[in-house]
Structure formats: C-alpha cells, structure tokens
Structure 1
Amino acid sequence: MSNSTAEPVSGVQSVERALAILDLLARSGEVGVTTIAEQLGVHKSTAFRLVTTLERGGLVEQAQDRGKYRLGMGVLRLAGATTARLDVVQEARPICRRLAASTGETINIAVLSGRSALYVDQVAGSSSLQPHNWVGQHIPLHAASNGKVLLSELPAAEVDRAVGTMTAFTDATLTSKAALRRELAEVRERGYALAVDELEVGLTAVAGPIRNAHGDVIAALSVSGPTFRLDAARVGDVVPELLAAAREISHRLGWGDD
C-alpha cells in the first residue's frame, strides 16, 4: 500500500513540533534535548533532529552550556521584518489620510514580499466611492507602480529573481526583462514610478519610495484611481504631493536626505 498520503501529515506534524520547540525556548530560555523530547512526547533522536534543523535555519543556537539550546538570531531577523512593517504603517497613517484628502484618490502602502508587492495599508479618498481593498493582497511587481519602486534600487540579479515570469495582464503590461530594466532606470532618475492600465485596464497608479534610516527603499507609497481621472495632467499635479508625503514618512522612520 502506498504511504504517499501519510507524508503530508508527517510534514505538518514536524512543523507543529518545531513551533512547539520555539515556544518552549521562548518561555524557558535554555533547554536541553532531553527536556524538549519530554515536553513534546517524542524520542530524543526526533527532538535532536528537529532542533538541528532549526539550528541550520538560525532560529535556534547552542548555549554555552553544551547540550542546551536557546532561540537564535534568526528569530530577531523575522521579528524585525514584522516590526518594520508595523512601524511603516503606524508612521504613515496620518500622512496617508492627509494625502487621500488632498488628492481624493486611494492611497496604498506596499512592501516587498518574495516575488510580489504586499499591500499593507490603504486609505480611500473622497472620489473613491467603493474602492477595491488591496490590503493583504500580493500584486505582481512588474505590473504595478508600487512594485517598480520596490524593484528600482535592487541589484539586477535580485530583480531577475524577484520578477520571475512576467505575465501580461493587459496590452500595456511590461513583459520583457529588458523593458523592465529600462523602466526601472527611469524610476531611479525621476524618483517615482507610473503604471497606466498595466495591471487593470482603466487603472492608473503613481508611486514613490519610502526609505529607512539607512536610505534603503523599504516600502512604496502610491496614489491610484481610474485612468480617466488620473490623466497625464492630473498625475503631474499629484506627483509633488506624493513625493513630499513619501519623504515625510521616510523622515519619521529616521531617514535624512540633507
């Protein structure tokens, strides 16, 4: 009889046990493999295998008292990424509200998440009667103004890895790496990105960079609305407000452009 159906269950069980180990270390500080095995109700060899896997990932490290383990620096890296996102949303919210009020359009903040732009906050303007809720959605990087901003200062190799296959959503979507590279060069030169009918026909968005204290682009701030309303002239009016708002958020996060 095939045991293929048992493998996913075993994989899920291993994940659950790994999470239990992390929780145990968070509560107890330093713990030995024997104690871990007892707490999980597994054989000592199983506990050691799980701890070794977590250690390779940097989530667990050996304490000076050999044989005991504690949480590793990898946990701080993961926590720091989450904290950074929360900081951006918290610092940006009043500025996003002000920008939504002055432009009348939908304001979004997105961060890089694997091969997509993850939308983490949104404020609707007065002109957006029933705006699409983008929060929590992953949007292809090459087809969105936010995505282009997030890609704009990455090394070429990282851009290629992040973008992957460039799917066409409309006739205006960029579908070649060469075209995207040219577009990103323009984004760097002018300081903002534009997407007209690239993700959806009838949708225009313009985005600017949000930087951390080191000057790295950690998020993108965008103004979006229907293309008939955000025509070239209107975009020209919106861009200075957008960039001023993005700079203000960046300053709140510790960036100084003096």
Structure 2
Amino acid sequence: MDRMSAETQGGFQSIAAVDHALAVLKTLATSAEPLGVNELARRIGLHKSTVSRLLRTLENHHFIQRDATHGRISLGLGVVALAGPMLGAMDVIAIGRPVLERIANTTGETVSLALWNGKEAVMVEQVLGTRTVVHYTWRGKAVPAHSTAVGKIFLSFLPDSEVRPILAAPLERFTEFTIVDPDKMAAEIARIRQTGYALNVEENELESCGVASAAYDFNGKVATVLNIAIPKYRFDGEQQLRLAEIVVEGARELSGKLGYGNRAR
C-alpha cells in the first residue's frame, strides 16, 4: 500500500493528492531536463504507480506534457495559462509606473492603478503625491464598485446583463454622498461611458475624492484603471475638469504603452 492510499484511508485524500501533484510540478519546474516516470517518482519519494496516476490527471489539464520519442515529462502550457493573469498584472504595473510618476509629479496628487477581481476594484500600485496632505491606499486593498471612481469605471465596461443584478442588490451607503439609488447609478454609468472618466466626490469616504479612466491592452480590453486621489478641499469644479483631462490623457498614454495605441475609445 503506497503513501497516497494510506492517507486516503485516513480521510486526507484531497490534501495528499494536492500535495503530491504540487510535488510533481515543483520537481519538473526545477529540473534542467524532462524526466522519466521512474526518475520523477524517485525524486519525489512516491511509488511509480502513484506518480503515473497523478501524471494522467495533470496531463488531462495540460499541466504536463510528454515528448513523443521517449515519453519524458516536462511542464505543459496549462502552467503558463495559470501564470498568465499574474504575469500580465506585473507587466501592467511595471509599464504603468512611469506614467503614475509623471502624473504625480505634475499634479502633486497620489496616482494609482487598479484591477478588477470580478466584484470589486483592487488597488495594485500607487505613487504618492508631493503635497503635504495626500491620499494613501495600500496595495492589495479592495474597494467597492459603486462608491469609487475606479470601481465605477469597471462597472461601466460590464455588459448591462451583469450590471443590472449589481444595481438590483442593495448598494451600501458609506457617506451621505454615496449613490445608492439604482436609477441614479445607471445614469452615472451612462455618463461615464460617454465621457470616458469617473468621479468620486466623497462617495466612499468623507473628504476623499478621485477621478479615474481606463487603459486598454492590445486587444482593446480594459487592462487597468488609472486613478488620481485628492482631498475634497482641493477638488472644486475647475480642478475636477483639469484632473479629468490629465487622467484621461494618462490612461491614453498607458494604453499606447500596452499596445493599444492612441485609438479613440
């Protein structure tokens, strides 16, 4: 009875199977050349039959591949597919940071990038402004979709079939300025789609405002959202328009760096 079957009897099949599958992938990742089943089993310390079963499952999901001549095993394209979104995010951050730095130096305000996790915007990078009082948001923070400029940008790019259930659910009120009426939020989304930028005027936190616009990748899809954060006392009507122009231009510049070019929206 091999180790996996013993752990299966003890009720830990899922944990053991995952541990063993990860051991296979890690061993292949650190090997300078493809490995045969016997060598792979020896390095991991599992029975050959156990490793063979794991390999069949991993191969079905394209996480490993075998060479046609000797059947030796190496990592497959499924691993690349899993890493792709993270690598893409890292590219966006690296490419976007010079744009953030330029805008922060020009405006004196904090500038950040956000990604979409399916229901919220997640702040992934920022450059602090040069003024005495600036806005700060830590990397990795998830912010609501309906009460932030970055979140509203992401909502504006969702199909109506996905936006409707979001607006139908109760929208949480964070301040007296939060838009919680579905019809008003729908009108706000329509305005954003027309102008290309979103505003947050104390809708998520009092005295905290922002203006955001989307940057696109080479496929014309939203790659990230660029945001300028600013205290309310510096965010009058004239400044709103000025920063909106700056963030839209910054997003257009970043889109070009990401391969989209300066095509109109």
TM-score bracket relative to the smaller structure? 0.7 to 0.9
1:242 aligned onto 2:247: yes
Secondary structure of the residue that 2:260 maps to in structure 1? Answer: coil
68-77 vs 46-55, greater mean Cα deviation: 46-55
Paired position in structure 1 for 2:126: 122
Classify the secondary structure of the residue corresponding to 1:141. coil
Q: Determine if contact 1:34/1:44 at 8 Å carries over to the other structure.
A: yes
What residue is the counterpart of 2:5 in the other structure?
none
User: Are the counterparts in 1 of residues 199 and 209 from structure 2 also a CA contact under 8 Å?
Assistant: yes
Aligned to 1:17: 20
SS at 2:157's partner residue?
coil
Gaps of 5+ in 1: 1-5
Amino acid at match of 2:93: V
SS of residue matched to 2:200: strand
When structure 1 is superposed on structure 2, of 194-203 and 122-131 the one drifting more is 122-131
Q: What is the alpha-carbon distance in structure 2 between the residues aligned to residue 143 and residue 62 of structure 1?
A: 50
> 1:38 is paired with a residue of what secondary structure?
helix
Q: Are the aligned partners of 1:116 and 1:162 in contact in 2 as well (CA < 8 Å)?
A: no
Change (3 A) 1:20 1:241: same
User: 2:212 & 2:46 partners in 1: Cα distance?
Assistant: 52
Equivalents in 2 of 1:173, 1:51: separation in Å?
52
Question: Which of 242, 256, 259 is residue 254 of structure 1 equivalent to?
Answer: 259
Deviates more, 1:43-52 or 1:68-77: 43-52
1:3 corresponds in structure 2 to: none
Q: 1:34 to 1:113 in 2, by over 3 A?
A: farther
Q: Which runs of structure 2 are paired with 1:47-126 in the superposition (5 Å)? A: 47-61=51-65, 63-64=67-68, 69-126=73-130
Output the CA distance in 2 between the equivalents of 1:242 and 1:134: 20
Distance in 2 between residues matched to 1:91 and 1:254, nearest whole Å: 11
- Secondary structure at the aligned position of 1:142 is classed as coil
* Structure 2 unaligned residues grouped into runs of 5+: 1-9
* Secondary structure of 1:185 counterpart: helix
Contact 1:115 1:163 in 2 (8 A): no
CA distance in 2, matches of 1:36, 1:48: 10
Q: What RMSD in Å do the two structures reach over aligned CA positions?
A: 3.3
Higher-Rg member (1/2):
2
**From 17, 26, 29, the counterpart of 2:29:** 26
The answer on whether the counterparts of 1:105 and 1:128 sit within 8 Å (CA) in structure 2 is no
1:211 aligns with 2:211: no
Distance 1:68 1:94, change over 3 A: same
Question: Structure 1 stretch 165-174 or stretch 194-203: which is displaced more?
Answer: 165-174
Moved more, 176-185 or 124-133: 176-185
Percentage of identical aligned residues? 33
Residue type at the aligned position of 2:90: L
CA offsets, 1:94-137, max 9 Å, x none? 22122112222110101122432221111111235364232122
1:64 Cα deviation (Å)?
3.7
Residues 27-46 of structure 1: matches in 2 within 5 Å?
Answer: 27-28=30-31, 30-46=34-50
Confirm or deny: 8 A CA contact 1:106 1:128 kept in the other structure.
Answer: no
| TM-aligned CA deviation for residue 161 of structure 1 | 8.4
Report the Cα distance in structure 2 between the residues aligned to 1:179 and 1:27, rounded to whole angstroms.
55
Structure 1 residue identity aligned to 2:29: A
Q: Is the 8 A contact 1:114 1:162 kept in 2?
A: no
- Counterparts of 1:38 and 1:155 in 2: how far apart (Å)? 52
- Are positions 1:198 and 2:206 aligned together? no
Alpha-carbon distance in 1 for matches of 2:202, 2:112: 17
Structure 1 equivalent of residue 226 of structure 2: 221
- Classify the secondary structure of the residue corresponding to 1:152: helix
**8 Å CA contact retained: 2:110, 2:136:** no
Give the Cα separation in 2 of the matches to 1:92 and 1:21.
36
Q: Secondary structure at the match of 1:119?
A: strand
Number of residue pairs aligned between Structure 1 and Structure 2? 253
Residue-by-residue CA offset, 1:23-47 (whole Å, 9 max, x unaligned): 2222345445554443332344543
Cα offset for 1:244? 1.0
